[in-house]
Structure 1
Amino acid sequence: MRTPTAGVGATAVVVAAARAAENRRADRLFHDPLAERFLAEARKRTPVEAVEVVRHPMEHYFAIRTRYFDDVLRRAVAEGCRQVAVLGAGLDTRAFRLDWPIGTRVFEVDLPEVFAFKEPVVEAAGAEAACARTVVPTDLSADWEAALLRAGFDPGLPTAWLIEGVLCYLPGKADDAVLAGVTRLSAPGSRLAGEHVSHRVFTDPVARPMLDALESVGAPWLSGIDDIGTWLGASGWESATADLTDPAVHHGRITPVDRERIAAGPTRGWIFRAWN
């Protein structure tokens, strides 16, 4: 079994570590019982010190982000989407831990090496998905659309898309290409949720330690967008961004220092939801 503790796959372990930490809180925002198993398996094979350097300053953000996207997907299926596609799924376990309406099918798309690590852990845990679950091993920089269609994805159905913690790792204009692919495969009534960073983050001294840690595990951020609404709108998506200072979004997890940093100057990035 390969362990994704180098390259972009390492970020999946980072998020699993944060979600495992969230499980241990009395006021947890979600429950992800598989996260601890992923982390334990990763630690058996490769030291994850660099991964921990990334996790600590981001832990509360990962919890907020996870809960926000949980709620967006719940709302999307309640509004009629019965097909869900998670791009760059990593060690995501929403197919197992969310209550899905009958008939929901979740597609998880990520690199083959991520699933080579993930699937044996899921199987060993005896975890059963709460929906029809299909894994699609492919690279988002390759022809992932064809792979998704071969796996049974139906472009005629309204789809809830999730692109969590992925777009900033894509090189050049690959983020544009992913959005174009999502748009091509989205029937009317589809929903899209995700996050991206702005170019400001690359010169922000507050972000420098995290960026250095990501580079140390071979997972540097490579792209940014300075106006997320314009970027989505050019492909026909109406959108809204999450306000991290809103208690309904942060659930008490941001500090006064976080609040000051969010308010200081142009945004460093966005959590967004969109609809066509």
Structure 2
Amino acid sequence: MDSLVGFAHAPATAILRPPSTCASKKKINGLRAKLSDDNDPLLQTAINAASLRFQETHRPEPLFVDPYAGCFVPPDVQMDMRQCSHHYCQCLATKYIDDKLLQTVNHIDGLKQVVLLTDGMDTRPYRLSWPTSSIIFDISPDRVFKRAAEKLEGVGAKIPRKSLFLHVPMESSDIQQSLCAKGFNGNQPSIWAIQGLPVMTFASFEEVLCIVSNLAMNGCFFLGELPAWLVETEIGMKSSTRQWMDKLFMSNGFRVDMISYEDVARNLGKQLASEQYKNILFVAEQLRFSDDQMETWRREFQRVEDQGDEEGFEEL
């Protein structure tokens, strides 16, 4: 588990990007729900996830420590360790994603771009030890993020020095353009993680994949946790979950591996209770070139062609 599971055995092979059928779908349709009151399900879901991290932090031997999750939890909510046990797989997923993010970022030279697709109350930008020159982008519901930012400021949470944290509202009309306007560079390495982003429909997740595929360089990674309903509503009788995942991700240029929660627990020296948890933990590697890489290649090709540089053609 020290390396990205499933990718050590096969070197990355770049696949030229075909004309994209989703190039114009740069907003995540289905995620434009308005958060108008305290009973909004998106807000409550984010608070529930923070409550699990808060409870895990206060276990005798926690998988991780989130010193800021408590600021999101209502004071009248009592810790229920049994509930945390029931959702232990979600905490395992959080630990796995934490470790893979830091492991990967620490092996990137120069600018380190991290894109987190979250519920708006993800504290990773504050609680993880990001290396110097990390730029962390958060894509999440705007109102939830703003409320969380106020709470975090109130408890003195700080982003690591010499790192930058930028928010992109998931309600943006063009997520891809918004990321680039904030400074994301498709000619630089990046790592992407999804956990908690309120994907409402299968089409919405396809658009997420499309955005990551358009922006992530060849060889970059996309990891995280997918909700069980996504598989249950889309998988056919003649297809296994693994086959469905392979087809879905490969159609967007990714080679994907499903990660076993049991293996994660075992490698952490923990025992996983026999419970039904159908979410999917995954790591995917980008096989295509990003849009920016393709544009750079096109410009270089045009330059060589204009100059009639035969040696340049051979290098390309």
TM-score > 0.5, shorter chain as reference:
yes
Bin the TM-score by the shorter chain.
0.7 to 0.9
Of the candidates 139, 147, 165, which is equivalent to residue 171 of structure 2? 139
Q: In 2, are the aligned partners of 1:4 and 1:117 still within 8 Å (CA)?
A: no
Of the candidates 85, 94, 98, which is equivalent to residue 70 of structure 1? 98
Can you list the C-alpha shifts for 1:191-221, whole angstroms capped at 9, x where unaligned?
A: 100222455975xxxxxxxxxxxxxxxxxxx
- Secondary structure in 1 aligned to 2:42? coil
> Structure 2, unaligned stretches of length 5 or more?
1-35, 236-240, 287-316
- Secondary structure in 2 aligned to 1:8? helix
Identity, % of aligned pairs? 25
Question: For residues 267 and 256 of structure 2, what CA distance do their matches in structure 1 show?
Answer: 16
Q: In 2, are the aligned partners of 1:105 and 1:132 still within 8 Å (CA)?
A: yes
Residue 13 (structure 1) aligns with: 47
Of the candidates 33, 36, 44, which is equivalent to residue 70 of structure 2? 36
Superposition deviation, residue 181 in structure 1? 0.7
Runs of 4+ more than 3 Å apart: 2-5, 55-58, 197-202, 223-226, 247-251
Of the candidates 261, 272, 289, which is equivalent to residue 254 of structure 1? 272
Superposition deviation, residue 171 in structure 1? 1.9
Residue 215 (structure 1) aligns with: none
Can you list the C-alpha shifts for 1:35-82, whole angstroms capped at 9, x where unaligned?
A: 001113xx58xxx89xx9xx6575312211110100110121123171
Question: For residues 71 and 4 of structure 1, what CA distance do their matches in structure 2 show?
Answer: 33
Superposition deviation, residue 229 in structure 1? 2.3
The structure in which a higher percent of residues are helix is 1
TM-score, normalised with respect to structure 1: 0.76
Q: 1:94 to 1:156 in 2, by over 3 A?
A: same
Q: In 1, are the aligned partners of 2:120 and 2:142 still within 8 Å (CA)?
A: no
Q: Which has the higher contact order (CA 8 A, sep 6+)?
A: 2
The more displaced of 186-195 and 80-89 is: 80-89
RMSD, aligned CA: 2.8
Q: In 1, are the aligned partners of 2:55 and 2:84 still within 8 Å (CA)?
A: no
Of the candidates 145, 168, 171, which is equivalent to residue 201 of structure 2? 171
Count of residue pairs brought into register by the alignment: 237
In the TM superposition, 1:119-138 aligns within 5 A as 119-130=149-160, 131-138=163-170
Q: In 1, are the aligned partners of 2:42 and 2:119 still within 8 Å (CA)?
A: no
